Chains A and B, each alone.
Chain A
Amino acid sequence: MSAPARPAQPAPQPPATPAVLLALEGVRKRYNIGLPNEAEVLHGLSFTIGRGEFAALIGPSGSGKSTLLNIVGLLEHMTAGSYRIDGVEMNGLDDATLTLRRRSTLGFVFQFHHLLPAFSALENVTLPALMREGRITPARRERARAVLAAVGLGDAMGKRPGELSGGMQQRVAIARALVLEPPLVLADEPTGNLDTGSADEVFALMRQMHAELKTSFLVVTHDPRLAARCDRVLELVDGRLVRDGATVPERREGREGLVGGS
């Protein structure tokens, strides 16, 4: 990968963050190292996400968003660079340590919800606690019920994912990601598979949970309308960060537009 497709726009400084949750510095990712088809998809990315931030990661297909999200989500190793969570370096840690860190720090919301079809909505939401503690205490169950009720699924707790609409399934996924109150939720196209109405509802829910729990969000989206409703937008093109800026506060209520946007 060489030069970015378009030059970086002069972006406003990212908002000051009271505490840095995660910090990437010079992160590179190469595939097929040593083979004729070796390729670098991330070219030395550097940025930070503060506690309580709600950031969008946008970019065209093939720009490296998913790879970056996998590295941030500790699902993939970087080739070079530094990635710190709460000041602790993640690069070079073994799988077991990364898994435990993922468990304690991150919540995931995927495009296709990725609930476990054999479990009810409530069971899906209690799964993180069961995984962590080996059992579900009454307190944990109550907490799961409360979160499901908060995402508007108080009446559908016993239903399996197959019995729920796409929007409802995504709400369960959000509840599951948030139930243990991780510091950071990574959402990969969380509304990409929903109609506009459901997408708006799900996004509003994420904002609401963010406001209530102060959890940091990094949302990958193709939808500029949704990106505009985030506090900050990081734009990735051809593996390079071409934009990192705050959105206009008054536009966050559904109108398009980014400060310094194209």
Chain B
Amino acid sequence: MLGFERRVATRFLREGRMQTVLIIVGVAAGVAVVAYISALITGLQQNTIEKTLGAQAHLTLSPRDDVVLAARAPASTGTRELVQTQPRAQRPRSIGNWQLLVPLLEAMPEVAAVSPMVSAAGLAVRGEASKAIALVGVDLDRYDRIVSLRSKVVDGTARLEPGEGIIGRELADDLGVRVGDRVGIVTGGVSDSLRVTALVDLGVRELNRRTVIVPLRTAQSLVGLPGGATSLDLTLVDIWSAQTLADHLAARWPYQAESWQQANAQLVSALNAQSVSTAVIRGVVMVVVVLGIASVLVVSVVQKQREIGILRAMGATQGQVLRIFLLQGAIVGALGSVLGVLLAVALIWVFTRFALGADGLPLFNITLEPALALRVAAIATLCGVLAAVAPARRAARLDPAQAIRL
């Protein structure tokens, strides 16, 4: 297919060797930058999200806030009334019927795991040291599916039998506790004593300094909510469906549903800003690539006017001449893409090899997904064809009689 056009296009490119090599290198540089930046930003964002969601649920269901309702009857129609009420202090409350809710949530295709939780503030006491803590009562197996708790254990073995607890690494340091030691827990007027079975690193120092994880029943009795759960944590199959599902659940049941995006609004807006910036950079680079290819082909059309005239005189149609130059754009785009993707792979290798964190490991995982590489290459090739449209039309419209005389 296109035997004539292909033969002439490749010959024209080979004939202008230096010009061709330079523009292919130019396209390759553009493709490499786009592919590398895309992989880098994707890796960075994935890493940020993983670290953020590593210690929290994708979606949390909790009871609605207590509100104070006016005791008076509403004013008559046409009368405006100003009422001031004191907002109510929020006490720990359980989600009504949470035991029935869990299987319903688990049956949803978007939901990967559900874990009931009782959370409250308290104090951890050991000897004369006492530290403010966030008490988290969970079913270990269910909670593990939410935050992969077992993988975060740095010392000991994750186990939550009655009277046992898991605490953050920094909190253990602050209290001078090791695995096997006992710690006192105080919430309100209730206190208990736990044996520490494991120390965990949740990825955020502040969380490590405050977190105490206990069995669900222990937390229920410490907080005074027998059989209750202050929230249900959900892990989703697709993290980006969290907001939609939260809206859906909040509309369906009388609970408060908070997605991880709502809980981390600043992070999400930062990620969005980053994505927009990346898209702008990619767009500008692609425009530069298009202009580069177009300028080289415009020069080529001028240089090849006589040859185009000869071909037209010999019977080449305008369509054939058009395709000769479109093909040149496509070939330059495709070769530049292949080279560019290889260059991007090399850049990524250099990044992962030499940009290391304090622990000697790469700062974050960055890979060039084949789908991304293919997409960038396809876009660059398409850009090559688009860049060739104007020069190709100019070539096709050349008056053969005039072109031969040049």
Contacts and interface: CB of A to CB of B under 8 A. Distances in A.
Contact of B15 (A95, A118, A131): A118
Nearest to A95: B318
Interface string A119-144: 10000000110111011100000000
Output the residue of B7, B312, B318, B405 with the most chain A CB within 10 A.
B7
B315 A100 contact: yes
A108 B7 CA distance: 21
Contacts of A99: 312, 315-318
Output the residue of A99, A110, A115, A135 with the most chain B CB within 10 A.
A99
Contacts of B15: 117-118
A75 B314 contact: no
A19 interface: no
A131 B318 contact: no
B364 interface: no
Interface in B309-356: 309-320
Contacts of B400: 75
B320 A114 contact: no
B331 to A, nearest CB: 15
Contacts of B313: 73, 75, 102, 108
A130 B4 contact: yes
B14 interface: yes
A134 B314 contact: no
Contacts of B314: 102-103, 108, 127-128, 131, 176
A223 interface: no
Contacts of A16: none
A131 B307 contact: no
B310 to A, nearest CB: 5
B379 to A, nearest CB: 29
Given A114-B310, A114-B404, A119-B11, A131 B315 contact: yes
A192 to B, nearest CB: 14
A118 B12 contact: yes
Interface in A168-222: 176
B306 A134 contact: no
A215 B351 CA distance: 69
Nearest to A131: B4
Contacts of B310: 110, 114-116
Contacts of B8: 116
Nearest to B405: A66
A97 B312 CA distance: 13
Nearest to B396: A95
B226 to A, nearest CB: 84
Summarize B's interface: helix, strand, loop or mixed.
helix
Given A116-B307, A119-B11, A100 B317 contact: yes
A135 B307 contact: no
A253 interface: no
Contacts of B306: 114
Nearest to B1: A134
Contacts of B315: 99-100, 102-104, 106, 128, 131-132
B14 A118 contact: yes
A132 B2 CA distance: 11
A117 B15 CA distance: 9
Contact of B404 (A110, A127, A128): A110
A75 B4 contact: no
A70 B404 CA distance: 11
B250 interface: no
A137 to B, nearest CB: 11
A104 B314 CA distance: 9
Nearest to B13: A118
Interface in A41-100: 66, 70, 73, 75-76, 95-96, 99-100
Contacts of A100: 315, 317
A134 B3 contact: yes
B280 interface: no
B204 interface: no
Contact of A135 (B3, B14, B309, B404): B3
A131 B404 contact: no
Interface string B132-176: 000000000000000000000000000000000000000000000
B372 interface: no
A131 B1 CA distance: 12
Nearest to A132: B315
Nearest to A113: B310
Contacts of A114: 306, 309-310, 404
Output the residue of B11, B12, B313, B318 with the most chain A CB within 10 A.
B313
A76 B401 contact: yes
A70 B317 CA distance: 17
Interface of A: 66, 70, 73, 75-76, 95-96, 99-100, 102-104, 106, 108, 110, 114-119, 127-128, 130-132, 134-136, 176
Given A96-B317, A96-B319, 15 more contacts: A66-B405, A75-B404, A76-B401, A96-B318, A99-B316, A102-B313, A103-B315, A108-B313, A115-B310, A116-B11, A117-B307, A118-B11, A118-B14, A118-B15, A134-B2
11 contacts: A66-B405, A70-B401, A73-B313, A76-B401, A96-B319, A127-B314, A130-B3, A131-B311, A131-B314, A134-B3, A135-B3
